[in-house]
Structure 1
């Protein structure tokens, strides 16, 4: 996968930064792993958390520029530190030793070559946990194909199908077209989510969608697409925890929380479609 790294074409922006020479592209990161934190996370979906937590690794930087990012200190302000691949593998093994049920790679897109070198290294040393690819959905299909067989659980966040939204709030005008192709590729690799007898996710696709203030019709369009293109048995987490973080209040229309009525309108729509909703 290193052939995608420098000049960098790992994500749809194809900024072609020479990352192995110290350049950074849109994501803000060079060619080594850059990590903000790693710990057993108990705030994820129940099928990931179980009783031991999801072994979450937050990677620094991001290929999206969401003005409302709730992790902006990590994604935009680049809080974190560069480490070696061997250290990243050791982190994964430590999370397994702590009793976590999976390795949850948060915002891995722009660091994929280093991450999966570490995954292979950790597996050779005894890592047996499912690998979760937790991303914003702005993915290169060519790179995703390289991950076939390496990722057990894909967990993209489908943010919008609106070109206006994508341009204004994500700074990625082509996001709607890109995310559709990316999710279809993910689904072709892992299929619908499978859980074991303990209620823990083992393999498959999990989709997140954050309901945004004033954008309920966009949410409905996304949910209908999921049902029609992936099937009603698709695991979907319709989320209501939006709050105006980072630069959101530069845009008055999203400088508020989602109302109870907005969320219930979207959630009821998803329920009526028969989707497999996270609980």
Structure 2
């Protein structure tokens, strides 16, 4: 698709005032929170806290151009990553557990401040706004998006999620989010329970990824290889095949063999993983090769290919511009 022919989905809703209505519906859900499969039922508008430990306002740890994402998201000037504190999963191997599981250490952010952060990322040249760990703060994102869009935001939105999402929440994002970037973590209820405190993760994640794909389809790139719309799945290969890679690849291929998939090899024992035998070691080269083979055998045709030299080049350009 030519980038000049592309228009972010949410702009149409802004013109019809539909986006404001979505935000209002989503904010109402905070009164008896059912935004994710935890269904905590707490009134976050009154300061009650559920599993994610985030109340009425979001907590933004950082908002900056990010060059470590997949190449279709990075473009020339980085992906505009907004990292939210708090999470509806508590993975024992989380690399960012300080903010994901201890959100009170991060200051609260108003809707206007979040909107301003989005606009600043667009001004910096980022090709998209990348909401990282957004499942528990969808109402606040929509609230800020209304303000940002009216002030000139016009780049694609990326929903960068663990996939532990409620279908009702994803319905609120239909016609709002352009690019979904879900994780495909565990396919085993036992592993999901032990390592993420979510035994129903496999069922909920498959439902969520299928719903995302039904909304936006396969990943569409522009003439420069930049993502405009669609689904990009991340799968972190785990030691001992704890993530059931072949089962995930078969599932993704059943949705589309043209699914864009990043099979990641960067697992390392973080947080509490060092004290858990199955998680206490790094991934071997043989295990990663076997995961790639599983994807090919399942029929997945679009695998992300990282170019570390290109990442370094883009980062150097970015910092030179700031000098």
TM-score, normalised via structure 1 length: 0.98
Does 2:177 match 1:151?
yes
Residue equivalent to 2:38: 13
- Note the residue ranges of structure 2 that are not aligned, 5 or more in a row: 1-25, 306-323
Deviation beyond 2 Å, 4+ runs, structure 1? 271-274
> How many residues are matched?
278
Which of the residues 133, 141, 165 maps onto 1:107? 133
1:19-50 per-position Cα deviation (integer Å, ceiling 9, x unaligned)? 11111110011111211011000000000001
- Which stretch shifts more, 92-101 or 71-80? 71-80
Stretch moving more, 1-10 or 86-95 = 1-10
Match of 1:240 among 249, 253, 265: 265
Counterpart of 2:169 in 1: which secondary structure? Answer: helix
- Structure 1 distance, partners of 2:133, 2:101, is 12
Conserved 8 A contact 1:271-1:277: no
In the alignment, which residue of structure 2 is the partner of 1:218? 244
1:56 corresponds in structure 2 to 81
For the residue of structure 2 that corresponds to 1:214, the secondary structure is helix
Q: Any residues of structure 2 matched to 1:1-279 within 5 Å, and which? A: 1-78=26-103, 79-215=105-241, 218-228=244-254, 230-275=255-300, 276-279=302-305
Q: Is the 8 A contact 2:51 2:88 kept in 1?
A: yes
CA distance in 1, matches of 2:258, 2:242: 22
More helix by share: 2
Tell me, which stretches of 5 or more residues in structure 1 are unaligned?
A: none
Aligned 8 A contact 2:236 2:264 in 1: yes
Higher radius of gyration, 1 or 2: 2
TM-score calculated relative to the size of structure 2: 0.84
- After superposition, the CA RMSD in angstroms is 1.0
Matched residue of 1:5: which SS? helix
